[in-house]
Structure 1
Amino acid sequence: MTTAASTTSVLRSSSAIVAVTESGQHLLRIDGYSHTLDIPTGSNIKSQPFRVGGHSWRISYYPNGLSSTWSDYISLFLRLDDGVPQGVRARHTFSLLDREGRPPVTRYTNDGARIFTDLGTSAFIRRSELERSEHLRDDCFTIRCDVTVLNDIQTKSIDVGGAALAVPVPPSDLHRHLGGLLATGEAADVAFEVDGKTFMAHRCVLMARSPVFRAELSGLQAAKESAAAAGGSIAVPIKDMEAQDFEALLHYVYTDSLPEVEEGQAAAMLPDLIAAANRYKMERLRLLCEDKLREFVDARTVAIILAFAGEHHCQGLKEACLRFLNDPENLREVVKINGFEHLTKSCLSVLEGP
């Protein structure tokens, strides 16, 4: 007698609950610390807005404390600036940097992923302690704010691939680590003097990102060894560039992205960054700035931007301007604002070019 063997098929499936986070840093430099002490207790100065996790934030700096109880202290608060009524789940820290940007001293941590629109500390540091410390130099000190925003918690299916479960891999955070290295200046070995300001950086990073930096810095090995023996860094002057533009260039070098600035600042910064990209032969940076600058092409700016595009060999930006002018309604508005003679004088060489 034979018995039929039975088989059992096991179907496997898998899912994961993923808490998506996004982190960012903001440096708030207090220049002229002693003059900020003229502000009354309970009054604050707000930082420029910065974006992390899809939200806009500001740091509120109270040089004479949040209230009379804390009048001997500096108070710091992180405020949600985009009016989200239900608040945002986030954690943050406030740290102190010295003028050399050495590793930060964390003095406040909110590590509970709190739901908040306004959270910080009334007693960040006693003013007398700050004034005795190495963090205050030349009436200046820097606060670093690290923010991690907890976004939506998502459920995702995972392909088990037989018996083995897939391992969820988070997105690359190399840009965050390199950006932190730039912010702290840890192990920096070159100091750039730009428009009266000093920027600490790392030769190996710069040489890897730009052939011009490679050529300029590779010949400084002897100077590097001499500076290292003296416990210092190489000093390199940069001429014909503003400090804010060089700072934005370094941000790109370390993070492969443009710094987040307000719209008016971006319109002024992007042409300077294109010039810097050409200067240091960084093609992707130039194209990225070209693409962003296209957003500012309108009847009032097209003539200036077209002339700039021709001068700096920005073919994509030039074509965007010409497409704008190709619309008869746009052209009439441009002539109305600038005058036909001004338009032709400004753009003739570009229009006749290849």
Structure 2
Amino acid sequence: MVASWGYEGFVPKSKLRALKDDCFTIRCVLTAHRVVLAGRTPFFRSELSGPMKENKMQHISIDDVEPSVFKALLHFIYTDALPDNRDLKKNTTLQHLLVAADRYGLDRLAAMCEGELCRSIDVQTVATTLTLAKQHCRERLKDVCVDFMSARDVFDVVKKTNGFKHLVTSCPEVISDILQENLPLPEVGVFT
């Protein structure tokens, strides 16, 4: 008999296609890993040391994080490093991971995401990254975004993106920082 890992009885595609509302639930059973999860995050610490500790049949629902982002979050919890995959190099995934890190109290992961975002800013993503920085009180990331957008030729291109439109509606006060950098100061003469 050959020992193998995994589950042999997967759900057939035909049953997945017949799902109502195009959604389903994935249930992950974590038993031996409670100590690791509770030791690394305040969220899991409170969830696993409360009533759930007494009743092993309960589960924790994680409905506010995409599976790929949650997988990256778990990777960090177990390895103290960002996963090395192509998906994580996309700003959108890093932005979602930063939000999840803040939500679950993983300050080191949030700082690592912030650093990666600072290094990967471009014209198409700077406005959404700036919105995220403002909403999550990431001053370093905010400053890097404002500095990037402060070049007049860059600012003119960024103004045309959908991310900039979102920035204007969600964080209008940030626009004044950018405009101060972009508008020339009047020359001040000294009268004697």
Normalising to structure 1: TM-score of the pair?
0.40
Per-residue deviation at 1:265? 6.0
Q: How many residues align?
A: 159
Residue 271 of structure 1 aligns with an amino acid whose one-letter code is Q
* 1:198 and 2:27 correspond: yes
| Structure 1 counterpart of 2:126 | 302
Q: CA deviation at 1:198?
A: 2.7
Q: 1:221 to 1:263 in 2, by over 3 A?
A: closer
Residue 345, structure 1, aligned to residue 168, structure 2? yes
- Inter-CA distance 302–214: structure 2 relative to 1 (3 Å threshold): same
Is the contact made by 1:309 and 1:317 (CA closer than 8 Å) also made in structure 2? yes
Greater strand content = 1
- Tell me the alpha carbon deviations over residues 100-151 of structure 1, each in whole angstroms, 9 at most, x when there is no partner: xxxxxxxxxxxxxxxxxxxxxxxxxxxxxxxxxxxx12258xxxxxxxxxxx
AA aligned opposite 2:123:
A
2:130/2:167 contact within 8 Å kept = no
Secondary structure, counterpart of 2:54 in structure 1:
helix
For structure 2, the 5+ residue unaligned runs are: 13-23, 178-192
Match for 1:137: what amino acid? G
Give the drift of 1:308.
1.6
Instruction: Report the residue type matching 2:36 in the other structure.
Output: V
Task: Show CA shifts across 1:28-50 (max 9, x none).
Answer: xxxxxxxxxxxxxxxxxxxxxxx
> Which residue does 1:123 correspond to in 2?
none
Q: Root-mean-square deviation (CA), in Å?
A: 2.8
Cα distance in 1, alignment partners of residues 166 and 153 from structure 2 = 15
**1:320 is matched with which residue?**
144
How many angstroms does 1:352 deviate by? 5.2
Q: Which has the larger share of helix? A: 2
Q: What is the CA deviation profile of residues 297-319 of structure 1, one whole-angstrom value per residue up to 9, with x for unaligned ones?
A: 11222112111211122222111
Identity between Structure 1 and Structure 2 (%)? 32
Q: Specify the alignment match of 2:21 in structure 1.
A: none
Matches within 5 A, 1:179-190: none
Q: How does 1:86-105 map to 2 (within 5 A)?
A: 96-99=4-7
Uncovered stretches (5+) of structure 1, i.e. residues with no partner: 1-94, 100-135, 141-194, 228-233
Cross-structure match for 1:216: 47
1:270 to 56, 77, 94: 94
Contact between 2:39 and 2:45, CA under 8 Å: does it hold in 1? yes
